[in-house]
Structure 1
């Protein structure tokens, strides 16, 4: 069959345009054309009975047509010969295709233009086909993370014809067609106040009030309304109440995800729906294996917003599947996942290993947003992962100019908190110093203070910025509009000042005024010290009493004049005799016994955190003999006698006997 190029135009009415009638219509008056159109289109415009939704496109070998009054069509230019036989064959072949075959054909198209070009070759477009076409356009437009429908597609004649028919015939659509169209259009981010969206939403709300929508359609409706950013909690609550009578076990995974999104849109109403949410959490356990990476991220985010801290079985199962999907998350999804897992206190070595492989595999090409979020997760969970930290250091050196102050903080702060210096630490901190010199005033005061404090934890002291930090002007900026400085900021500034005295004797700049100095770094909240592990403390105390002979030979929780609190202090005279803790004269040496429980170390390791390392450095510089008693060494002891011998070796390693 010869190839003939046809110029296709969309008609303003929905009947099949008969190419062979072009010449006849040209010679007839407008009223005649209107009569013929009315007779042919009676199923659309005259009949009051619901008819199957059909969009009919105009195919003719002619130039453009236009309508002056919305009904009368006037041909412009000379008509060309039609290909009635080829057109009839096309319609007949299409009618033979099933919906599944048509869906498969749609899935072969990789662009919206291809979809629109294909459906423009079809004479009659039934409702399911039109809805499927919209859904496919939505899929290809969102495939690459597009945020809005392109202008070329918005103004495409076929797309406009589809939208026009969905708007005009909303009341005649089936539930599936109506909800599919609304879902697709909401994902295409059309204007929520457009007449098309308003028409579809109004029809959906009418059907919702009548109670005729099934559970699947209710999920689609709720999710679409949430996506349109105008959910209306009244409508969403009506959806939730109708869903409560549904059998959740029969719903697909995407429907369960939609329910979480609906509940997430009205978190203030979650208390009255908690029993229903508990059912959803239980059912979700069975659908986790079928969730996509995007869905896993969405569910975890919803659980955080809804504060489902009691849904730990679901969180644990989601966490196990997160490990499998780490390479497939987008930056935003990975951020949501890591924030949620941190919120619920979840972490395991398999997840850490997966993150290490993901970040190390990308290495030079790693997205700096991904690196910062992974570092933030490691910092919050106190996970010392050298491969991740090393990649983060390289990422900072390459991208420091385009990072925001908050992102710089997320990349650098974990080095201090986890007490780790990367192999290229000198280059990292030189780069950081250059960034601070050029952008100092752009950093929020609290972010800047915490960043500089993190550097001092691993002995990269910000000497060049201390004068600015201790100045009243910076402290006023730090206070902002609050009536007073918060306790944590004061503690950080005080420890930086103590660092300048003990570790930077060459610093000769301004000092921190006494009114800004705290008395103790150990506070119930926002503490720069980690309290003792009480169970470990009790065990050590029993051994010390056996070793020293009495309880009055040592003191517990001693606050020094330098803001630090010593777990156990033992005083020795010049000859090495142990003195009672009440004696202050003739004290030659003070022993600071550090009872280090698991919380003072990085997660599942024996590597001390930065805040504990700086405390030991400062105590040694102040003249204390620092003795560390870590939990893993004490737990390895099998008897009370072994504990006493262990403490004797720790405290009096240079003496053959103990004297008191």
Structure 2
């Protein structure tokens, strides 16, 4: 659009402005303008750290480790960097603060690195007398989350001694430690008897962490019911129990747009019909399931509305008190739970389920639900809904399930 004759050009420089013209390869923006300043700042943030100058003393392994762990950009410091920094650190540099940073780093990024985890376990054993339960809960966190039981032989005895010494001091830290051990299937009986005692429960009632402690105690009580048939100590009173995981986990809700749940739901709807499955159903004692089907004795998939989708809890066992006994029900209806195994349900770069996921699947199996895992590799290989429906059909038929006119 042409400007009217005689009107000044707004793009023309003012008399007081100094204009420089860009040469070959240079920007046409002012060198001190806000855009180039922002780009330069971003460029510097992407550069690796500069080597120490003669005026700055070289950092030792402990300092490098702490600097790496304190940096929010995880990918800049891969695990090899952490292992090398830890190996070069002096004994006096490995303080509780540094080791807690390392433990939190591994847990946050799902890094199941044995060398680093063993170093944390060894530190915990060596420094046992100087550590309180609030620090220990942070050091133990990655072991339960990453489903890793260290080879350090004194790891479990050390935690039992710390729990015996500190259990009455910090209730939330105590149950946090027990939660990590629960994921590892290593619950100490003496500590369980303490947290289920009336004095401990009365002590935490009415306190700010009361609800979260009751949720953890409810999960621990479930683990005692399902995994420790020989336990004869106190249990959590019925009035104190709350649902364990009544809704999808936080990570699943945060990554819902990357999940396969919606497309699997659509595949089941077209394959079975809406009345023959339930999505995100919470079953007693409070575990949220991805998809649940009710199956008759003939293998027919039944409408869920005509069946009780819940198995009784506590389960009735064929042989009371026998660890290998399978739960039985009064009816012959089988409950099949389809479990989505997304990428973030595993430790990074591995095939080990995270502790919380493994615990949920283990408990659902012990309660009598038949599990049908749907791994993310198989789901990602399906190209479109028709292929996914064929995949689900093969999975269900492999279990002997039938539907439609011949399946009821």
Counterpart contact for 2:62–2:89, Cα < 8 Å: no
Counterpart contact for 2:299–2:402, Cα < 8 Å: no
Q: TM-score, normalised by structure 1?
A: 0.47
Equivalences for residues 411-450 of structure 1 within 5 A: 411-424=139-152, 426-441=153-168, 443-450=169-176
Q: In structure 1, what is the equivalent of residue 228 of structure 2? A: 504
Match of 1:495 among 205, 216, 219: 219
Offset from partner CA, 1:73-94 (integer Å, 9 cap, x none) = xxxxxxxxxxxxxxxxxxxxxx
Q: In structure 1, what is the equivalent of residue 20 of structure 2? A: none
Match of 1:338 among 69, 94, 98: 69
In 1, the alpha carbon distance for the partners of 2:297 and 2:100 equals 52
Offset from partner CA, 1:405-437 (integer Å, 9 cap, x none) = 23322221210011112233x531122112323
Counterpart contact for 1:544–1:644, Cα < 8 Å: yes
Offset from partner CA, 1:296-352 (integer Å, 9 cap, x none) = xxxxxxxxxxxxxxxxxx4xx27x53999xx936757854753451xxxx4227433
Counterpart contact for 2:145–2:354, Cα < 8 Å: yes
Offset from partner CA, 1:269-307 (integer Å, 9 cap, x none) = xxxxxx9xx998766446x4xxxxxxxxxxxxxxxxxxx
Question: Number of paired residues?
Answer: 345
Secondary structure of 2:398 counterpart: coil
Offset from partner CA, 1:142-188 (integer Å, 9 cap, x none) = xxxxxxxxxxxxxxxxxxxxxxxxxxxxxxxxxxxxxxxxxxxxxxx
Equivalences for residues 277-288 of structure 1 within 5 A: 284-285=41-42, 288=44
Q: In structure 2, what is the equivalent of residue 390 of structure 1? A: 118
Match of 1:464 among 190, 199, 214: 190
Secondary structure of 1:348 counterpart: helix
Q: In structure 1, what is the equivalent of residue 340 of structure 2? A: 595
Question: Alpha-carbon deviation of 1:557?
Answer: 1.0
Equivalences for residues 326-405 of structure 1 within 5 A: 328=59, 334-335=65-66, 338-339=69-70, 341=72, 346-348=73-75, 350-360=77-87, 367-369=94-96, 370-405=98-133
* Residues 1:487 and 1:633: Cα distance change in structure 2 (over 3 Å): farther
Counterpart contact for 1:372–1:411, Cα < 8 Å: yes
Q: In structure 2, what is the equivalent of residue 202 of structure 1? A: none
Please tell me whether residue 519 in structure 1 is matched to residue 243 in structure 2: yes
Question: Alpha-carbon deviation of 1:394?
Answer: 2.2
Secondary structure of 1:590 counterpart: strand
In 1, the alpha carbon distance for the partners of 2:163 and 2:340 equals 38
Match of 1:559 among 272, 275, 282: 282
Question: Alpha-carbon deviation of 1:631?
Answer: 2.1
In 2, the alpha carbon distance for the partners of 1:363 and 1:570 equals 57
Please tell me whether residue 633 in structure 1 is matched to residue 360 in structure 2: no
Q: After alignment, is 579-588 or 509-518 more displaced?
A: 579-588
Q: In structure 1, what is the equivalent of residue 397 of structure 2? A: 652
Secondary structure of 2:245 counterpart: coil
Question: Alpha-carbon deviation of 1:509?
Answer: 1.5
Please tell me whether residue 409 in structure 1 is matched to residue 137 in structure 2: yes
In 1, the alpha carbon distance for the partners of 2:80 and 2:50 equals 12
Question: Alpha-carbon deviation of 1:546?
Answer: 4.3
* Residues 1:349 and 1:281: Cα distance change in structure 2 (over 3 Å): closer
In 1, the alpha carbon distance for the partners of 2:127 and 2:215 equals 31
In 1, the alpha carbon distance for the partners of 2:179 and 2:396 equals 32
Question: Alpha-carbon deviation of 1:568?
Answer: 0.3
Secondary structure of 1:430 counterpart: helix
Counterpart contact for 1:595–1:628, Cα < 8 Å: yes
In 2, the alpha carbon distance for the partners of 1:361 and 1:657 equals 61
Alpha-carbon RMSD across the aligned residues, in angstroms, is 3.5
Question: Alpha-carbon deviation of 1:605?
Answer: 4.2
Question: Alpha-carbon deviation of 1:460?
Answer: 0.6
Equivalences for residues 126-141 of structure 1 within 5 A: none
In 2, the alpha carbon distance for the partners of 1:573 and 1:366 equals 63
* Residues 1:546 and 1:322: Cα distance change in structure 2 (over 3 Å): farther
Q: Which has the larger radius of gyration?
A: 1
* Residues 1:561 and 1:623: Cα distance change in structure 2 (over 3 Å): same
In 2, the alpha carbon distance for the partners of 1:628 and 1:401 equals 44
* Residues 1:337 and 1:479: Cα distance change in structure 2 (over 3 Å): farther
Counterpart contact for 1:418–1:608, Cα < 8 Å: yes
Which consecutive unaligned segments of at least 5 residues does structure 2 have? 1-30, 53-57, 309-330
In 2, the alpha carbon distance for the partners of 1:322 and 1:354 equals 16
* Residues 1:656 and 1:499: Cα distance change in structure 2 (over 3 Å): closer
Secondary structure of 1:511 counterpart: coil
Please tell me whether residue 545 in structure 1 is matched to residue 283 in structure 2: no
In 1, the alpha carbon distance for the partners of 2:201 and 2:50 equals 43
Offset from partner CA, 1:243-278 (integer Å, 9 cap, x none) = xxxxx97xxxxxxxxxxxxxxxxxxxxxxxxx9xx9
In 2, the alpha carbon distance for the partners of 1:580 and 1:510 equals 40
* Residues 1:402 and 1:480: Cα distance change in structure 2 (over 3 Å): farther
Offset from partner CA, 1:341-391 (integer Å, 9 cap, x none) = 1xxxx4227433311232245598872433332112111233222221122
Match of 1:578 among 301, 305, 327: 301
Equivalences for residues 186-201 of structure 1 within 5 A: none
* Residues 1:529 and 1:563: Cα distance change in structure 2 (over 3 Å): farther
In 1, the alpha carbon distance for the partners of 2:394 and 2:358 equals 22
In 1, the alpha carbon distance for the partners of 2:232 and 2:51 equals 51
In 1, the alpha carbon distance for the partners of 2:174 and 2:50 equals 33
